[in-house]
């Protein structure tokens, strides 16, 4: 069988699980039930990115989020693959010329999972607990709730971080609940941190499918598996990020949720040590152009917070 669409993603276990999910949806859509036929129709190329190679320091010290996408996007531009499967929270707001997002799969739970050797909530952690994370957003929100905790850099894939907690190298860490679910590791979560305590990264839990902008055939093949509601929510979250000139250097959180005919949007910007925060919680009724309306809402809230915070949002970066 000739490939129908060639998929590609980072080489991490989670990235490959997301690619396999994409393949399963496409195969089901086309009535392909044999696994070997599905693999032939939608082969997956494993691409090692610069971000995957860096495990000893924060990404901001090496160049930021684009380190997880550059090589995958180059494979797409070179036509080595037809569809790049991305974790949307790793995607820069602006992509390279010639590439665009076809859309998104239905979003998984965007909450954070708390990983410990016993405690199930942040409040149960011992005083002075050592928390491992490479995310300034997580660091800032932890310090807001538990300023006594010591936050230290912890990078690596899901397995690496679970192992370090099991060995007692840290008292706690956080993983996206969506990633644990997609890996079949949801039982590793000691507890779920509600979004009222810790807002997720913009687009957390969402899988984006990127294609060449002139590949109309790929867009048509992907369209039936794409989720309109996820597109609406991510329009708000990514517009918020763009308005704040968001990067790994500024702790930014955002979550948009459709509630009936309305969109609830919550966003937050923090100083890395959690000493200050600027947050919003607003709703808008969605009309005939929900994606555009969501994007306008996110952009407006981002500009409002940027005006309130001024230079302070970069001052501790």
Six token digits for residue 153: 């850099």
Q: What strands lie across the sheet with 99-104, from one edge to the other? A: 44-47, 7-10, 83-87, 207-212, 99-104
Asked whether the beta carbons of 116 and 190 are under 8 A apart, the reply is yes
Q: Which of 52, 56, 90, 281 is catalytic?
A: 90
Instruction: Count Cβ atoms below 10 Å from residue 223 Cβ, excluding itself.
Output: 11
Angle at 221 between CA 184 and CA 68, to 5 degrees: 50
97 catalytic? Reply is no
CB 254 within 8 A of CB 278: no
Nearest to 170 by CA among 144, 193, 190, 184: 190
Q: CA 271, CA 251: separation in Å to the nearest integer? A: 7
Active site residues: 90
């Amino acid at each position: 069988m000739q490939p129908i669409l060639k998929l590609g993603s980072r080489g991490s276990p989670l990235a490959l699980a997301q690619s396999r999910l994409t393949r399963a949806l496409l195969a089901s859509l086309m009535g392909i039930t044999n696994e070997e036929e599905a693999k032939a129709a939608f082969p997956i190329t494993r691409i090692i990115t610069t971000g995957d190679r860096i495990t000893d320091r924060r990404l901001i010290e090496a160049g930021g989020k684009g380190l997880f996408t550059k090589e995958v996007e180059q494979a797409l531009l070179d036509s080595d693959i037809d569809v790049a499967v991305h974790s949307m929270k790793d995607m820069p707001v602006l992509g390279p010329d010639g590439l665009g997002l076809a859309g998104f799969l239905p979003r998984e739970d965007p909450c954070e999972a708390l990983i410990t050797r016993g405690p199930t909530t942040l409040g149960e952690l011992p005083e002075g607990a050592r928390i491992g994370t490479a995310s300034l957003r997580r660091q800032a929100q932890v310090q807001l709730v538990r300023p006594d905790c010591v936050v230290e850099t912890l990078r690596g894939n899901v397995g690496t971080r679970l192992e370090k907690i099991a060995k007692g190298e840290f008292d706690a860490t956080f993983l996206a609940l969506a990633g644990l679910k997609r890996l079949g590791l949801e039982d590793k979560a000691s507890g779920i941190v509600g979004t009222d305590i810790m807002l997720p990264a913009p687009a957390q839990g969402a899988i984006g499918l990127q294609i060449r902008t002139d590949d109309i055939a790929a867009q048509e093949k992907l369209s039936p598996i794409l989720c309109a509601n996820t597109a609406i929510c991510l329009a708000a979250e990514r517009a918020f990020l763009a308005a704040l000139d968001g990067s790994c250097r500024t702790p930014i959180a955002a979550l948009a949720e459709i509630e009936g005919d309305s969109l609830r949007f919550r966003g937050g910007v923090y100083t890395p040590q959690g000493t200050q925060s600027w947050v919003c919680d607003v709703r808008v009724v969605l009309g005939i152009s929900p994606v555009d309306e969501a994007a306008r809402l996110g952009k407006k809230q981002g500009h409002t917070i940027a005006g309130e915070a001024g230079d302070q949002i970069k001052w501790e970066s």
